[in-house]
Chain A
Amino acid sequence: MLKVLLSRLGQAALVMLVVSAVSFVMFRYVGDPVATMSRENASVEEKAELRRSLGLDQPLVVQYGRFLGRTLRGDLGISYRNQRPVTELIAERLPATLELVIVATILSLALGIPLGVLCALKPNGIAARLVQALSLIGISTPTFVTGIVLILVFAVSLGWLPSFGRGQVVDLGWWSTGFLTISGLKSLLLPGITLALYQLTLIMRLVRAEMIDVLSSDYIRFAKARGLPTRYIHFRLALRNALMPVITVTGLQIGSLIAFAIVTETVFQWPGMGLLFIQAVSFVDIPVMAAYLLFVGLLFVLINTVVDILYAVVDPRLRARSA
């Protein structure tokens, strides 16, 4: 067991190292912060001086080495744009993104599972076909289009919901939450739906496929033969088994939801990490970009490592092998 754990952690560290190196090389191609940082009238000497003081005149390997050293000491640097510590900026934005992701996940599960069951139980019914067709639209419409359409309908035409921002937030320590005010909750709806849409269709289709699979398995047929109530068969026996892969996928998808949130956050001016990243890209704010990529990399590595370890815990075969 310990061996599995250690080898997974070793792999995770290696992945992080590669992520940091790749992201650092990438910055070479996103541009030069000096152009965005210096004033329009700046002289050539001024720009050269700035480049030198940022250490950008050094070879890439030296820059990477310094970056790695600082990161290992827990110092992510200071944002070129805001001149504030990057850790502070990320801590400030994290709650907004996480709350959005939580809402999106709840929405996609709360709607995706029942709809998937519906489609599996009555695959040829009108409702099921309609849901299937709509899910195709949901899976193929780009997020920004969904977002803009929702804004036009619910904010501009109907005037029910705000079109951007988080509304009123309440500070609980360093965590600012929108869950405790009416305007905060209203603000969460549109971006939450936008972000959930892809996830929802994914879960719906997964539940449907799994349910159909499970429903045709032997033990369900025997249960039917025993004359157990249909409701019991469908929801206690079939659905429970069909949900196992759904839980795994949902867990793994949380990472990509955080990454996908970039577009949603831009459309709704949601002050989360995605927006921070987009603004860092257009300003060539290298410390913020590097920190964001590291953070997302870390998130994926963590989730995958935890899932792998859980598998080892859950799966008796894996346990037996390592024992």
Chain B
Amino acid sequence: MRARFAVSLTVAAGALMGMSAEAKTLRWASPTDITTLDPYAHTESFTTSMLHHVFDPLVRRSRTLELEPALAVSWKNVKPDTWRFELRRNVKFHNGNPFTADDVVASITRILDPGARARGNLATVVKAEKVDDFTVDIVTNGPYPLLLNDLAGIYILDKEWMEANGALKPGNIATGVTTAASTTAIGTGPFKVESYKPDAGTTFVVNPDWWDKPQHNLTRIEFKPVKSDATRVAALLSGELDLIAPAPLQDLQRISSSQGFKVIEEPSLRLIMLSLNFRPELKAMPGQKNPLLDLKVRQAMWHAIDLETIKKRVMRDKSRNTGTLVAPPVPGYAKENDAPLAYDQAKAKQLLTEAGYPNGFKTKLNCPNDRYINDEQTCVAIASMWAKVGIQAELQTESRATYFPRQDRGEFDVSMVGWATLPPMDGFSVLSSLLTEQKDGYGGSNAGTYSNPKVEELTRKAAVELDETKRRAMLVETLKVARDNVAYIPLHQQPLAWAVRDGVDVPQFPDEYVRLWFANIK
């Protein structure tokens, strides 16, 4: 009792101090840190989301995740492969330099450098050309409908600053080049970096000269990375933090029952699914025909998974079961594709018998144990559910560091995949990475070598379709083919849970980005 009193007293004191002073500081923690301040030197979504506080892209995501003008005020296709952007005037960088077309051209050129880690985020762009001081042309290698989606993740840097500090080229580990940009961030965004200390914390202060009207009331953000789940929760409850993102699932109950704190939740874009091996043989059954090549077997595997139980027991009722490969907010989603095959053991056994495996078969099941929410427990549950219909899954779990390289090398039979369609936030990424054969830059994560002529054809058509309605219809159609074919077995949509102290109003987004330029605190 006394302990609880002490906690609420600290919180009350903190809240009072916040109210009396003009300054509104938001203190928050996440398990990952900002790896670098150079936006082109990494491909990590957390770092991208943090740097968005400092930099602006040409187009950005609105509060409802629609694409909206940012540093560009308008755009049009002057040719199928050329986009003309008109830039915002009277924008200043944090160092006082004016923003012009030169900055856009220098920034785009910088990310197109082969040494830029994030080069792939703008893979189709060939060059950027200045038309006049506030007009820029961006040229792609053919018609490309997702250019705006890509540009929403490309931040604009100050050309003069880069020149003065030798940072015109991005840092590159292969050639041993490091630049001033990895520890200094000069952008046009709503906040400025005050200090950046990896593992210890990063402090942002509000940029009073931001070109946009602020929707937040913060004057300062103190970000601390706290890797340990228990410590992060403790720091929130002891009043040292205002927000933790994410909040560990196992502690949600405890946080929401503590006075003065609450949990905020939203389904994330990340879908968890099982990738299947479509090679002639399974690793678990060398020398025999791969049973997974039979559609009935794949359907049986799906029917045998009790998704409701996984949701209730493993995911603590926080996940959303799904039957398709993209989340509802993502283009390509269709409600009619979303129902999973019903849990039905008898049906599964019957399908296995029809396929010629009345006694089941042997397969390997590989899962990471530190990448997705409760990934290992989910796989343990699936292995035991399959055992009931005779499918003997030999389960192996390991750290992401060794798991993903092995998955890339095609060493698995059945393995877990999580896909959030980020950064473009478009169903096309499922088609181009998960469903297509590995060639011409396609199929980068198609570890099971799934292949279907209809999917190949539709993907290549959708890739160059500039008519958005037609393009979306193609995505829906392709994802229906994949579902009817059981190219992957979808499981659930991961939950996204944060925890805040009372008086903190932070919107959540399914892409798991923390966008504090929408945050208000009391």
**A interface, CB within 8 angstroms of B:** 29-32, 34-47, 53-55, 75, 77-85, 89, 92-93, 96, 144, 147-148, 151-152, 155-159, 162-166, 266-269, 271, 275-276, 278-279, 281-284
Contacts and interface: CB of A to CB of B under 8 A. Distances in A.
**A42, A53, A147, A284, most chain B CB atoms within 10 A:** A42
Most chain B CB within 10 A, of A41, A44, A89, A157, is at A41
A279 B442 contact: no
Interface in B200-250: 200-201, 224-228, 230-231, 234-235, 237-240
B405 A40 contact: no
B28 to A, nearest CB: 13
Interface string B31-43: 0010110100111
20 contacts: A31-B403, A35-B405, A37-B43, A37-B117, A41-B433, A42-B43, A80-B173, A82-B182, A84-B183, A144-B228, A148-B231, A151-B231, A155-B238, A159-B9, A163-B235, A165-B201, A266-B228, A269-B224, A271-B198, A276-B199
Interface of B: 3, 6-7, 9-10, 33, 35-36, 38, 41-43, 117-118, 120-121, 171-174, 176, 178, 182-183, 197-201, 224-228, 230-231, 234-235, 237-240, 370, 399-405, 408, 419-420, 422-424, 429, 432-433, 438, 441-445
A41 B225 contact: no
Given A38-B120, A40-B422, A269-B231, A157 B429 contact: no
B398 to A, nearest CB: 9
Nearest to A263: B228
Looking at B9, B120, B370, the one whose CB has the most chain A CB atoms below 10 A away is: B120
Nearest to A159: B10
Contact of B444 (A42, A147, A267): A42
B443 A159 contact: no
A45 B281 CA distance: 25
Return the 3 tightest CB-CB contacts between A and B, nearest first: A31-B401, A32-B405, A39-B43
Contacts of A279: 33, 199, 227
A269 B198 CA distance: 11
B402 A29 contact: yes
Given A151-B234, A156-B234, A157-B7, A42 B120 contact: yes
A162 B226 CA distance: 13
B173 A93 contact: no
Contacts of B174: 53-55
Contacts of A54: 173-174
A269 B429 CA distance: 36
Contacts of A80: 173
Contacts of A157: 3, 6-7
A52 to B, nearest CB: 9
Contacts of B237: 156
A93 B199 CA distance: 9
B144 to A, nearest CB: 14
Nearest to A45: B441
Contacts of A53: 172, 174
A166 B226 CA distance: 12
Contact of B234 (A44, A93, A152): A152
A258 to B, nearest CB: 16
Contacts of A36: 400-401, 404
Nearest to B42: A83
B180 to A, nearest CB: 11
A92 to B, nearest CB: 8
A76 to B, nearest CB: 11
Contact of A282 (B3, B183, B400): B400
A111 B6 CA distance: 30
Contacts of B235: 155, 162-164
A271 B238 CA distance: 20
A278 B442 CA distance: 34
A166 B201 CA distance: 10
B431 to A, nearest CB: 11
Nearest to A152: B234
Given A159-B238, A164-B235, A269-B231, A84 B405 contact: no
A159 B239 contact: yes
A271 B405 contact: no
Contacts of B201: 165
A269 B401 contact: no
A39 B172 CA distance: 16
Contacts of A38: 43, 120
B451 to A, nearest CB: 14
Given A44-B444, A166-B200, A83 B178 contact: yes
Contact of A39 (B118, B432, B443): B118
A278 B227 contact: yes
A158 B235 CA distance: 12
A78 B408 contact: no
Contacts of A271: 197-200
A238 B45 CA distance: 63
Contacts of A45: 441
